[in-house]
Amino acid sequence: MLLFTAALAAVPFISAKADDDRAHILKVYNWADYIDEDLIPEFEQWYKENTGEEVHVLYQTFDINEVMLTKIETGHEDYDVVCPSEYIIERMLKNDLLLPLDRNFGSVPDYTVNVSPFAVEKFDEMSASGRRASDYAVGFMWGTTGIMYNKAFVKKEEAQTWGILWDPKYEGKILMKDAVRDVYGSLMMYIRQDEIRSGRVTRQHVMNDASDASLKIFEDTMLCAKKNFAGWEVDFGKERMVQGKAWANITWSGDAMWALDEVGDEIDLDYVVPVEGSNVWFDGWVIPKYAKNVKAANWFINFMCTSENAIRNMDAIGYVSVIGTPEVLAYKIDESLDETVDLTYFFGEGADSVKVNSIQYPDAKTIERCALMHDAGNRTEAMLDMWSRIKGDSLHSATIIIIGLVIAVIIVFAVMKALGKNKKAKRRANAKKTSSRR
């Protein structure tokens, strides 16, 4: 008893102690593999130098947007800075889950102005409930969704279309990204390509149309493609591509870049954004309503926006920073490349034909066929249900029947056994009665 009361008494004590420390802790919740981890201790030091305050970063990662959202929306977890995708930011704005940013850093410059106007403009499309998105969010990384493929098994022409998913040649060889929104939006552009080409619908509409009809077409089409899937991945696809264990991977540009950097000489990988279109996405830093260290959170966001830190993050993770300064452009130009890309949309005038890696910075033409995702609102659940139906459907009806029969037999057996026991017990009871009567 003593022991137990002691244990219970310890609970408030420990949490009280934690509260005391909280002012010096910054809880960062970011995508897995999404930062140069050396920057974390450097931030702690930089923060101390400029504000005189100690801060310790608690760094945690997630790999599915919706999981992160749940922790904040339902769990009211007190993360100080999180890095969701744009459509989640829209939803968080709608549901009043964010705090506005404070861009006043005293003598330290506001580095958030380094973000390319292109990214700011895209973020502002996410404004909701009368809140301008760029007042609440600062971009971090951006990219496209496309197909990474192993050149030994897949030809470029084949990878240039989403149609590869239905090509019987690739049975069990394609890894699918477990990200419903990205895959849904991109593949709907393939499914409805005729309508888009004839101008009857816009790409933006196709990507975000979550009507029952649209969901149904997608589900049916995807089920036909399922034979080709080697598996569903959130993070391990790049790893298996590098090992040469899968032929193609529906993935994000940054993962592809990471794999291309990592892969040995014996395997040759490439990445394309299919011609039918795809999605362009942006992840950004926001401060949730339940944050407890708002000041350090703002400073952390600012720290991530210097050109130097943007370049270091890019080098570490393969994704592309939204920072659009000349320094970043100068660093990214690689004269050894053959092709040039038009990046005026991102770096402004003078970047109309620069030698920059086109997986990281897609050409203006590629961007034209990409659309932005929006929060699906109350259709989210229907969409998630549809997605788990596609993932979960791994049964043939014959197997169901056989398994059902086995289960039935077991239940019958169990019932008979239980009845038998009862009978036995009754018999025993009867026997006792008779014996006592005697």
Residues 62-91 contacting another protein, CB under 8 A: 63-64, 66-67, 69-71, 73-75, 77-79
Cβ proximity of 116 and 347 under 8 Å: yes
Binding characters for another protein, 106-135, by CB under 8 A (x = yes)? ------------------------------
**Closest Cα partner for 189 from 144, 123, 236?**
144
Looking at 49, 392, 436, 437, which residue binds another protein (CB under 8 A)?
Answer: 392
229 binds another protein (CB under 8 A): yes
Q: How far is the CB of 93 from another protein (least distance, A)?
A: 17
For residue 214, what are the CA distances in angstroms to 96, 164, 211, 282, 337?
A: 29, 21, 5, 24, 41
Looking at 240, 289, 295, 355, which residue binds another protein (CB under 8 A)?
Answer: 240
Count of C-beta atoms within a 10 Å radius of residue 233? 23
**Angle, CA of 56, 59 and 61, to the nearest 5°:** 170
Match 């960062």 to its residue by tokens: 28
Positions 171 through 190 that interact with another protein (CB under 8 A): 172, 175, 178
Looking at 105, 153, 166, 236, which residue binds another protein (CB under 8 A)?
Answer: 236
Distance CA 384, CA 364 (A): 32
Binding characters for another protein, 15-44, by CB under 8 A (x = yes)? x--x--------x-x--xx-----------
The SS3 call for residue 160 is coil
Task: Dig out the tokens for 411 from the structure.
Answer: 């239940």
3 binds another protein (CB under 8 A): yes
Instruction: Candidates 1-9, 120-128, 194-202, 304-312: pick the segment binding another protein (CB under 8 A).
Output: 1-9
Cβ proximity of 321 and 360 under 8 Å: no
Classify burial at 112, counting beta carbons within 10 Å of its beta carbon; exposed 0-12, middle 13-18, buried 19 or more: buried
Looking at 159, 230, 297, 305, which residue binds another protein (CB under 8 A)?
Answer: 230
Name which of 333 and 408 has its Cβ closer to another protein: 408
Instruction: Candidates 135-143, 149-157, 179-187, 228-236: pick the segment binding another protein (CB under 8 A).
Output: 228-236
Distance CA 212, CA 209 (A): 9
Cβ proximity of 270 and 161 under 8 Å: no
Instruction: For residue 128, give the amino acid letter.
Output: A
201 phi-psi bin (left φ>0, alpha ψ -120 to 50, beta other): beta
Name which of 378 and 435 has its Cβ closer to another protein: 378
Name which of 58 and 431 has its Cβ closer to another protein: 58
Q: How far is the CB of 359 from another protein (least distance, A)?
A: 20
Query: What are the start-end ranges of the H helices in 22-64?
Result: 39-51
Q: Rounded to the nearest 10 degrees, how much is the dihedral formed by the CA atoms of 279, 284, 288, 291?
A: 150
Positions 291 through 350 that interact with another protein (CB under 8 A): none
Looking at 105, 153, 232, 331, which residue binds another protein (CB under 8 A)?
Answer: 232
418 binds another protein (CB under 8 A): yes
Positions 136 through 175 that interact with another protein (CB under 8 A): 172, 175
Q: How far is the CB of 95 from another protein (least distance, A)?
A: 11
Looking at 404, 420, 429, 433, which residue binds another protein (CB under 8 A)?
Answer: 404
Name which of 97 and 341 has its Cβ closer to another protein: 97
